[in-house]
Amino acid sequence: MNKTQGILSALLGAGMTLMAAAPARAADFRRPRLLADGWQACPAGQWSETCMNAVVHPHFEAQMQALVPGDGGGICATAACTPAAGSDPSLGNSQQASQGFPWSPDDASAASDFSNRTGYYLLGAIPLIVLGGGALGIDHRLTYDGAGIWKRQDQLDLEYAVVLTEFGGSLWFGGENRIGRTFWQSLDASAFSALAAQGLKYVFSRARPYQSASPNHWFQGSCCQSFPSGEVTLQASFVTPFILEYHRRDPWVWGLEVLPLYDALGRMKAQGHWQTDVLSGWALGTAFGIFAHNRKIPFFLSYMPHGVMMGWQKSF
């Protein structure tokens, strides 16, 4: 077995380990059986496990049990009903849960679409991407193109704009509304995925296309940091929380995926990355976006003072 085959075998083993480590609970993928008409409170005395399971995704059962008194008044979906008192349709799944409100059917469905298990699968897929790329021969150096929209400066400007948008949106909107909390989730995803991507770059030190005509030059030292693409990771981690939060109500939000797509193509055309570099970065950023979106309270927001929690828009 040569060096390259050994590397790919090790990556495959890591991917299978990640998939095996993912929470193996089939109920994580079960959609809540919700009716589109809305919500209303259960009649007193009719609170039951069956009622709860009919409307709440298993991931949120503990939250709902904490929110709803045990002596009556569970939250049920019925064929003819009105929104429950106190519900706020402008808030998303985690936002309503954290404020003690039942979330809307659309938001509850959105919460169940992508569990943390999906993120583990994406992380586990990264070694498979590299292995498959080597086996299928998809890694190849593109002809350099730095003209028009592929200018390197345009890609850097996009990177700076995304970072400024994340920080600006988080501070401006705060964490007490849906859009603000999603900005904080996006900030979490970008920060932690950037650390992961940079760590992988140091570990694998893969030569970039402009440094080598072969995609099989790994462990080349500090000179080489091709795997994975940090910029594509950033773009994917930025857009994923917004897509997960709004895709039910506003399907057009899937169009945000054009940002990692553009950056992936631009980095390959600049001979800065191989095909498996950008695909792996895309998977890495998306996985961390899923993890961040599924947190009840964004990580960095939980350490912020009350003025930041409220948002600057309320301070001016």
The pLDDT of residue 81: 33
Q: Which helix or strand (DSSP H or E) is residue 76 part of?
A: strand 75-76
Q: Is the pLDDT of residue 56 over 50?
A: no
Place of tokens 């003025």: 307
Residue partners of 17: CB distance under 8 A and separation at least 6: 124
Average pLDDT over residues 270-281: 97
Calpha distance 123→294 (Å, rounded): 16
| pLDDT value for 65 | 41
Higher pLDDT among residues 105 and 126, named by residue: 126
Rounded to an integer, what is the distance from CA 152 to the centroid of its chain? 26
In the predicted model, is pLDDT for residue 87 greater than 60? Answer: no
For residue 72, pLDDT over 80 is answered with no
Cα gap 159→172, rounded to integer Å:
20
Residue 85 has pLDDT above 60, yes or no: no
Question: The pTM is what?
Answer: 0.69
283 CB-contact burial (10 Å; exposed 0-12 / middle 13-18 / buried 19+): buried
Q: What is the domain partition of the chain in residue ranges?
A: 3-23+116-314, 31-91+108-112
> Distances in Å between the alpha carbon of 287 and those of 75, 147, 191, 303?
31, 32, 13, 23
Q: Among residues of the chain, what percentage have pLDDT more than 70?
A: 63
Average pLDDT over residues 51-59: 39
Asked whether the bond before 127 is cis by omega within 30 degrees of 0, the reply is no
Concatenated DSSP letters for 236-253?
HHHHHHHHHHHTTT-GGG
Strand-strand pairing, 75-76 and 40-41: antiparallel
Highest mean pLDDT among 5-14, 50-59, 64-73, 231-240: 231-240
Cα–Cα distance between 122 and 115 in angstroms, integer?
11
Return the pLDDT at 84.
39
Higher pLDDT, 208 or 88: 208
113 — pLDDT class (breaks 50, 70, 90): low
Spell out the residues 6+ positions from residue 198 whose beta carbon is closer than 8 angstroms to its own.
Answer: 230
Higher-confidence residue of 170 and 39: namely 170
DSSP conformation class of 125: H
pLDDT tens string 159-209: 999 999 999 999 999 988 899 999 999 999 999 999 999 999 999 999 999
Residues near 49 by beta carbon (within 8 Å), at least 6 away in sequence: none
Q: How far is CA 27 from CA 76, 98, 119, 266, in A?
A: 19, 23, 16, 40
The model's pLDDT over 2-18, given as tens digits with 9 standing for 90+, comes to 544 454 454 444 454 44
Phi, then psi, of 41 in degrees rounded to 5 = -75, 145
